[in-house]
Amino acid sequence: MTEKDSRYERAKRIASSKVSFIRHFITYIVVLAVLALINNLTSRGYQWWLWIALFWGIGIIFDFLKTYVFMGGRMKSLEDRMVKREMERMSHEE
């Protein structure tokens, strides 16, 4: 696999992960809106849908960190810089 191919694969993975995150968030909002509606139409008392909002929300935040921080974002560019630096060091040694 050429370097171009591998970069394309990585870019594709990152883009697909970002789209997946956005889809995940929209599903979260729509489902919560429906649950909140059901909750308040059947009983205006205790807002039980917030339990789902809480735990699912924690999952969304982890999804965000995975997609934007650890995969395509800062961590990856840090890794790239370190690889580049190591390669430079190795070429100097040679």
Interface residue list for another protein (CB under 8 A): 18, 21-22, 25, 28, 32, 45-47, 50-51, 53-54, 57-58, 60-61, 64, 67-68, 73
Q: Considering the complex, state which of residue 30 and residue 87 has its C-beta at the smaller distance from another protein.
A: 30
CB of 26 to another protein, least distance (A): 9
- Least separation in angstroms between residue 63's CB and another protein is 9
Cβ distance to another protein smaller for residue 5 or 45: 45
Q: Give the helix/strand (H/E) hosting 16.
A: helix 3-42
Nearest approach, Cβ of residue 92 and another protein (Å): 32
Nearer to another protein, 30 or 58 (CB): 58
CB contact at 8 A, 36 and 49: yes
Task: Mention every residue, 6+ apart, whose C-beta is less than 8 A from residue 24.
Answer: 60, 63
Angstrom CA distances, 21 to 3, 67, 94, stand at 27, 7, 44
* Distance separating alpha carbons of residues 12 and 68, to the nearest angstrom: 14
